Chains A and B, each alone.
Chain A
Amino acid sequence: MSFFTMAKTLIKSIFHGPYTVQYPLEKKGPFPASRGRIEIKIEDCIFCGLCARRCPTGAINVDKTESRWSINRLRCIQCSYCSEVCPKKCLKMDSTYTAPSFENVEDEYKNARVPDNKENNRNIAGAC
């Protein structure tokens, strides 16, 4: 049994300065491989619905007749299974996280190649 065993670590810590990231001044970015949120390149999507069928939480909805692809961000568990099964590789896992949101809405994307939907080619739910 001994005393002051912590002294060495404590003295080192005093001269080391903070071990934590000084958040507002210094930001720690995500690693390139971090799983943040699913992004879709809607122009390449063929609306096969494979991602929706494989999604473990049923967060993705695909409507082939209306060329619409939507995702419920709050249901998504960022497993990136959809991006693996996507035959056109239009789904990608982005390393930045989805910002907190107040509403449980679906992010909806429509394909611009379909003439009727040209005006709707935007993220209807807004940037959340």
Chain B
Amino acid sequence: MMGKKTVIPFGPQHPVLPEPIHLDLVLEDETVVEAIPSIGYIHRGLEKLVEKKDYQQYTYVAERICGICSFMHGMGYCMSIESIMGVQVPERAEFLRTIWAELSRIHSHMLWLGLLADALGFESLFMHSWRLREQILDIFEETTGGRVIFSVCDIGGVRKDIGSEMLKKIGSILDGFEKEYSEITKVFLNDSSVILRTQGLGVLSKQAAFELGAVGPMARASGIDIDMRKSGYAAYGKLKIDPILETAGDCYARTSVRIREVFQSIDLIRQCIALIPEGDIKVKVVGNPNGEYFTRLEQPRGEVLYYVKANGTKFLDRIRVRTPTFANIPALLETLKGCQLADVPVLILTIDPCISCTER
């Protein structure tokens, strides 16, 4: 029997959402039959700003697209300009970029795990996740000078070096982190209160994930082997990366993928510390870029696409960023269909939404 349809507005302000996104949930009784998204609450026009700031100054704007994967936005932009100008980045700089990128992934996933615990109402788990994340933020502050916005990635390399003693210290901090983190993961993966809220919820089949263009952990939890790091940008070509895949496609699988990715990132940083060569960290870049380029790289939330078009002057023609959250919204709408209203917050969190990225 068909129930009466009700529309419930969800967001833009909601306790579970750190950033504003609005969804109109069409409900039949307590079941969601359709979700209609609307975005645009925090559009800042950063892509337009490329006409006002020269291509070197824009590095700092690119970093501010997102507060969580700020380093990777700066890195994606710098890689695009370097490719257009044919600049070969020193090997040490590529390793340093990889280390910071993987630390960013750990910090982003820890933030997400905390938010998930918070959405489930598991306050102490939330606190412990963020307590561990603090160690990573301290590494950032000690090595780059900033906790969130690092300003270390520059066109032609990086602006700060990490000394061998600091690299050793990072290794030892990560050893302690891994020990404490593995204790917390047991709660996420085995505890009844977490499993009851996540297992079997919001199943996205492999076919649906492929057709809707899901990226990152969302796609990998549905069994699609897609990870841009395997394309070998920065120093990833020299590291051993095993893909992390799950096949269930539910919230539990997505949690599991992200949890295992943190261990993978720790492993990658250790490989970097072992392999990092001595040498310069930056080459001098002269002249202006002329040409266009697409860069694809893997952020914590999935694949980001950078399109940069330059015209030979110091101001770029166009920059376009396709962020992972934007690509995951169709998949989110698919998973929302048929779920209960009470599960909506957890399902929205499960794509790890970053709305400031999406709207730029």
Q: Known: A2-B190, A54-B57. Contact between A93 and B145, CB under 8 A?
A: yes
Verify A2–B192 contact, CB threshold 8 A.
yes
Are A35 and B151 neighbours in the complex by a CB distance under 8 Å? Answer: yes
A65 adjacent to chain B (CB < 8 Å): no
Residues of chain B within 8 A (CB-CB) of A84 are: 159
A112 an interface residue at 8 Å Cβ cutoff?
no
**Of A3, A10, A30, A34, which one neighbours B192 at CB under 8 angstroms?**
A3
Majority SS at the chain A contact face? loop
Say yes or no: A33 contacts B142, CB within 8 Å.
yes
| B-contact bits for A30-49, CB 8 A (1 contact / 0 none) | 11011100000000000000
- The chain B residue with its CB closest to the CB of A55 is B57
Specify the chain B residue showing the minimal Cβ separation from A19. Answer: B131
Enumerate A15-63 residues with CB–CB distance to B below 8 Å: 19, 30-31, 33-35, 54, 56
Contacts of B144 in A (CB 8 A): 33
Tell me the A residues contacting B by CB distance below 8 Å: 1-3, 5-6, 8-10, 13, 19, 30-31, 33-35, 54, 56, 77-81, 84, 93
Contact A34 B183 (CB under 8 A): no
B151 CB contact (under 8 Å) in A3, A54, A79? A79
Number of cross-chain contacts by CB at 8 Å: 65
A80 partner residues in chain B, CB cutoff 8 A: 145, 151
Q: List 16 A-B contacts (CB under 8 A).
A: A1-B190, A2-B190, A6-B125, A6-B191, A8-B183, A9-B128, A31-B138, A33-B142, A33-B143, A33-B160, A34-B146, A35-B145, A54-B57, A56-B53, A78-B151, A93-B145
Known contacts A9-B184, A35-B146, A80-B151, A56 near B60 by CB under 8 Å: yes
In the bound complex, do residue A33 and residue B192 qualify as a contact, i.e. CB atoms below 8 Å apart?
no
Q: Given contacts A1-B192, A2-B191, A9-B128, are A33 and B57 in contact (CB under 8 A)? A: no
Known: A54-B57, A56-B57, A77-B60. A3 touches B131 (CB 8 A): no
